[in-house]
Structure 1
Amino acid sequence: MPAERGLKYLLPFYCYWRWRHAVPVHYLVVGGWLPAFLDSHPWLCRGLRRLDSLHVQSRRMIAQLKRQGFENLHWLPNFRDFLPQGPVSRGIGDPVRLVFLSRMIPEKGADLAVAAVETLNAARERPCCTLDLYGPVADDHHAWLSQLLQSRGDAIAYRGSLAPDAVIETLSRYDALLFPTRYVGEGFPGVIVEAYAAGLAVIASDWQDNGEVVIEGTTGLLFPSGEAAALEQRLDWLIHHSGALLAMKRAARATAARYHVDTVIPELLGTLEVPVTPAVGNAEEVPQ
């Protein structure tokens, strides 16, 4: 199903198709944008209420949509398909190895990550942590990124984009993921699932749904959105509590199983009342 641009044009078609052919229509919503979008496009609510179900990525969205009069709601967390990874490292790097992985746009918070790491290293007059940044850069953001990284030194570097099949292996080389997003459309970020699968703690802004995914003090730490000084304080605490960071990494690895495709999809199929049957010679269930 479409997102903001396509929804207002295609929703009438889907509603007609459902009515004319008696075919169930289930809307799987990607991202955290729908409640705010409906506040400014309230005429779409009637059509969406006619669908058989809406599946959204967070409890926050469910609560907001209920206040907008929806009842056909289900929780569908983000998920990934990943192989079991190797054991979590027995120790923490010195310097602590930090990574940022997202689109290179200001709203994703790379500037906060860079500022916090640079301030910590400058205060100690040595690199107490390093930061590698990964992610695609649109043409109109190359100048912004170049200026962001200017004169930052060897401890902070942009490493380019990652192929999807290289993400978890690459992340596993680090100690923690920095995710200081303030992106308005943020929902349940898939990169957090990938970080968990790689055995990384996650240091994230408390923006939108991050607090539902990052378990404070267990799989990572949260800080007030947009506050570089608060991020710096969280990182400073981690540098001095390597045992706690290692415990978070182990908890993150264990938590990843909640968001594996083999956990989430059977629950979705059950919600949709799709019959499943064991595949011949395979204990896993597949849709008929």
Structure 2
Amino acid sequence: MKKACVIGHFGFGENLLNGQTIKTKNVTLELEKQFGEDKIIKIDTHGGIKLLPNIILKMFKAFKYSENIIIFPAHNGVRVFVPLCNIINIFFRRKLHYIVIGGWLPSFLKNRSILKWGLGQFYCIYVETGTMKRALGKLGLNNITILKNFKNFKILSTSELKSTYDKPYKICTFSRVMKEKGIEDIVSAVISINKKNRDKIYTLDIYGQVDTEQVEWFEKVKKSFPDYISYKGVVKSDKSVEVLKNYFLLVFPTRFFTEGIPGTILDAYAAGVPVLSSKWESFFDVVDDGYTGIGYEFGDVKALTKILEQISYDPENIIEKKCKCLKKANEYVPEVAIYSLLKRL
């Protein structure tokens, strides 16, 4: 018997850098390290509905030979793979596990009682934050545990941290490039501060894969960039800490209220870079406000601008948080985070 079958968005043969693909691959890699590659079956859901018949055939085979079935579906996929797994499992009685990516599931289930019932049949549902666990508990689901997002990164030592910074302070974003990640908010804030002070207080570098459906939007946004704002392209996941360590501050101005544990914040912690972030739903599960970062009211560009300007008057307030970020990063290393899954397999 195989230890587990993982059904998720691997995107084999493609360089996909979205959170769903990254988390699916990260968890699967840790399972292979623990049990051996030959004990883990992988089924790739990339390709959508047209490949579903072939995926279903693979699932029947995987159920027959696997002790555990682990799924990673997002919004559309959960409506397909939860009932599919429950139906197939009538014949095989395997342990069903659902690892949730992001923080959207509680609101998604509110008016979907059949899907909620289907998830109640799973052995365990793994969510990223305590906020999500409490929200799902209120919906009547009691098979919930926390599996923090994690990354296989090298955490800097304190001796590698910079201790002095001069104007212009280098800040960056490090996420998918799309409207919903608040890119325009931080661009607006930096331009406003620099114009007001008639000086380059900040430079802003934007990293990340541009959303395929928003390329035209971003091309228009780039045309408005002054010389102190740049798009720097995509960074390989194993180089993220190396790139981020050169920055004064990471800005995470997301407008996705249901973010879970953003990988970009974990990268920043490992690089000893504090975070200025909008307060999304699970903000306080991830950012220790005033300790590893600073939060501002969700979607409030004026608040973002005001706090960013205040930081420029007192950069030591950020510098003193750097060692605290390194300490925080240790909560998100694979061997710590993966335990809650391993003990249930």
Task: Show structure 1 runs of 4+ deviating over 6 A.
Answer: none
Partner of 1:39: 110
The 5 A counterparts of 1:149-168 are: 149-168=222-241
After alignment, is 239-248 or 127-136 more displaced?
Answer: 239-248
Partner of 1:284: none
1:242 Cα shift?
A: 1.7
1:142 Cα shift?
A: 2.5
What amino acid is the match of 1:73?
I
For residue 194 of structure 2, the aligned residue among 94, 118, 121 is: 121
After alignment, is 127-136 or 157-166 more displaced?
Answer: 157-166
What amino acid is the match of 1:28?
I
Partner of 2:291: 218
- 2:223, 2:115 → 1: CA distance? 46
Partner of 2:152: 81
The 5 A counterparts of 1:77-156 are: 77-86=148-157, 87-156=160-229
Contact 1:17/1:23 (<8 A) preserved: no
Contact 1:31/1:188 (<8 A) preserved: yes
* SS in structure 1 of the partner of residue 95 of structure 2: coil
Partner of 1:9: 80
Contact 1:130/1:155 (<8 A) preserved: yes
What amino acid is the match of 2:277?
A
* SS in structure 1 of the partner of residue 214 of structure 2: helix
Contact 2:155/2:329 (<8 A) preserved: no
Instruction: Tell me the alpha carbon deviations over residues 46-97 of structure 1, each in whole angstroms, 9 at most, x when there is no partner.
Output: 1111111111011111111111101111011111011232421111242111
The 5 A counterparts of 1:230-245 are: 230-245=303-318
TM-score, scaled to structure 2: 0.75
After alignment, is 225-234 or 135-144 more displaced?
Answer: 135-144
What amino acid is the match of 2:237?
P
What amino acid is the match of 1:123?
K
Confirm whether residue 255 of structure 1 aligns to residue 332 of structure 2. no
- 2:235, 2:130 → 1: CA distance? 30
- 1:208, 1:109 → 2: CA distance? 15
Contact 1:211/1:222 (<8 A) preserved: no
State how many pairs are aligned. Answer: 272
- 1:231, 1:222 → 2: CA distance? 9
The 5 A counterparts of 1:179-218 are: 179-218=252-291
What amino acid is the match of 1:41?
R
Instruction: Tell me the alpha carbon deviations over residues 152-177 of structure 1, each in whole angstroms, 9 at most, x when there is no partner.
Output: 32111111111212211111110111
1:40 Cα shift?
A: 3.4
- 2:298, 2:276 → 1: CA distance? 11
* SS in structure 2 of the partner of residue 119 of structure 1: helix
Partner of 2:101: 30
1:225 Cα shift?
A: 1.3
What amino acid is the match of 1:29?
V
- 2:304, 2:210 → 1: CA distance? 24
Q: What is the CA RMSD across the aligned residues, in angstroms? A: 1.5
Instruction: Tell me the alpha carbon deviations over residues 106-165 of structure 1, each in whole angstroms, 9 at most, x when there is no partner.
Output: 010001110111111111111111110011113432232222232432111111111212
After alignment, is 146-155 or 96-105 more displaced?
Answer: 146-155
Partner of 2:20: none
1:184 Cα shift?
A: 4.9
Q: Which runs of 5+ in 2 are unaligned?
A: 1-70
What amino acid is the match of 2:328?
T
- 2:313, 2:322 → 1: CA distance? 16
Residue identity over aligned pairs, in percent, reads 31
Distance of aligned partners of 1:151 and 1:198 in 2 relative to their CA distance in 1, 3 Å threshold: same
What amino acid is the match of 1:178?
V
Instruction: Tell me the alpha carbon deviations over residues 169-225 of structure 1, each in whole angstroms, 9 at most, x when there is no partner.
Output: 111110111001012552211111011011110000001112221111100100011
After alignment, is 149-158 or 208-217 more displaced?
Answer: 149-158
* SS in structure 2 of the partner of residue 252 of structure 1: helix
TM-score, scaled to structure 1: 0.90
For residue 138 of structure 2, the aligned residue among 55, 67, 88 is: 67
